Amino acid sequence: MDPETNKIVAQLADITIRNTATIIHDKITASKAKKNDKETIAELTDIISELLSDKQELQRISGYFENELIAQKISDEDLTFIAETVVPTIEKLLVDSDDMMDNLNKIKPLLSRSTFNVLQMIGFNFKKGIGEPLTNLLSDAISGIKEKQNDELSTVIANRDIEYFKLLQDKDAFDRWRSIQ
């Protein structure tokens, strides 16, 4: 769980412990035992205020978990779009590779809307299971392009330096180079 969810769960546990029937009953009994009507009414009012405040907090926590669930669930329209878009896109990428097309034909049933629905019903989180790794993979690929460019630049610089050293070793070539400069 992420830190925010842990914090919310801790708040939920705190409210649950604070509002058990036994604890509330004990508070009411203690306030009635004082036999002072004004104090009893004030304490009961405080208990009611605390319960109402905790109810609002529970509603906020419930909203948080509802939003988390909604964020993880993919809508039927999105599932249909994914199923109708992913396979044709992969097919376009694999046109020249018969082996890959055979493999794609084997996994096509897994990329159907009904399979997505079943996986989601049993708790598979597509955004964490597929979305985040795909995002990381793309990020790494982009970083790899930059690193490849840096490697190529380093290679060109190293080759230039080698040529400079060759130039320094050949007195006639070095003299010609100096005359050009």
Dump pLDDT digits (tens) for 158-170. Answer: 888 888 888 888 8
Each residue's pLDDT tens digit, 96-111? 667 777 777 777 777 7
16 DSSP assignment = H
* pTM, 2 dp: 0.46
pLDDT bucket at 49, cuts 50 / 70 / 90: very high
Each residue's pLDDT tens digit, 126-156? 777 777 777 777 777 777 777 777 778 888 8
pLDDT given at position 86: 77
d(CA 40, CA 46): 10
Q: Is the pLDDT of residue 19 over 90?
A: no
Upper half-sphere CA count for residue 161 (Cβ side, 13 Å): 6
- For tokens 């890959």, what's the residue? 100
On whether the CB atoms of residues 110 and 90 are closer than 8 A, the answer is no
What's the chain's average pLDDT? 81
Token pair listed for 41: 């009414």
- pLDDT (average), residues 49-54: 91
pLDDT given at position 95: 67
Token pair listed for 155: 């290679």
